[in-house]
Amino acid sequence: MDQAYRPRKQPVQERSRATVDAILEGAAQVLERQGYAKTTTNAIAQRAGVSIGSLYEYFPDKNAVFAALKEKLHRAQFEKVVHRMSLEPTTTPQTVLRQLLQARIEVALEQPDVVAILEQEVPASVFATEREEDFASFSALMSAFAERYTNQIRIKNMKVAIPLGIQMVDLIIAHMATHRRAELKDPAFLEELSDMMCRYILKGSV
């Protein structure tokens, strides 16, 4: 992600954080109603109930707002996943994988139309650095998972397998959230996806 797509500054005080949250929520609402091409910073500011000057105090353009919005959505997902990873060590790896996937699905279903537009309409270059940081964070979590259950992992090259697995799951869930949302909500989908990932990762699951 080009430097221009980053916020001008990070909010520190509670009031400034509330302003940024309002801008991001306004951006999500305008994006959902008008799409990427027709969304402007003026429309975002108006929907957020802030002045255009306040918006530009934190964001140089609408792409920087969308980058921050996607980061916020991914942070919510990451926090859910971290919670799942804090389960008792006696939890089976199958249960942990299932709950990790459930967390990913839950986040995808919270604002599915916004997520779909971010994925399909906003240029991928806007999210380049954010995606790299997201991969790094989830890779660290999955490495911790592999260490916890090292005797049950069948994959030999985790350095290759972890980003491959993350990308595969993201593509599947993003596609389902956009085109087959009802099926994504079906518990049977979670069971099948969990089974697929267990077969990919764990010994004795083939």
Could you tell me if residue 111 is inside a domain?
yes
Could you tell me if residue 103 is inside a domain?
yes
Could you tell me if residue 18 is inside a domain?
yes
Could you tell me if residue 144 is inside a domain?
yes
Burial of 81 by CB count in 10 Å (0-12 exposed, 13-18 middle, 19+ buried)? Answer: buried
Assign residue 172 the CATH number of its domain: 1.10.357.10
Confidence of residue 196 (pLDDT cuts 50, 70, 90): very high
pLDDT of residue 2: 44
> Which is more confident, 138 or 186?
186
Q: How many domains does the chain have?
A: 1
Rounded mean pLDDT of 32-36?
Answer: 92
Q: What is the pTM of this model?
A: 0.71
Instruction: Write the DSSP string, the chain.
Output: --GGGS-SS---SHHHHHHHHHHHHHHHHHHHHHHHHH--HHHHHHHHTS-HHHHHHH-SSHHHHHHHHHHHHHHHHHHHHHHHHTS-TTS-HHHHHHHHHHHHHHHHHHSHHHHHHHHHTS-GGGGHHHHHHHHHHHHHHHHHHHHHTGGGB--S-HHHHHHHHHHHHHHHHHHHHHH-HHHHHSHHHHHHHHHHHHHHHBTT--
pLDDT of residue 86: 65
**Residue 96 is part of which domain span?**
3-201
- Which span out of 23-37, 83-97, 147-161 was modeled with the highest average pLDDT? 23-37
Percent of the chain whose pLDDT exceeds 90? 35
Could you tell me if residue 110 is inside a domain?
yes
Could you tell me if residue 206 is inside a domain?
no
Over the stretch 79-103, which tens digit does the pLDDT of each residue have?
A: 776 776 665 556 788 888 888 888 8
Confidence of residue 131 (pLDDT cuts 50, 70, 90): low
Average pLDDT over the chain reads 84
Over the stretch 41-78, which tens digit does the pLDDT of each residue have?
A: 999 999 999 999 999 999 999 999 998 998 888 777 77
Could you tell me if residue 100 is inside a domain?
yes
Could you tell me if residue 175 is inside a domain?
yes
Over the stretch 108-121, which tens digit does the pLDDT of each residue have?
A: 888 788 888 887 88
pLDDT of residue 118: 83
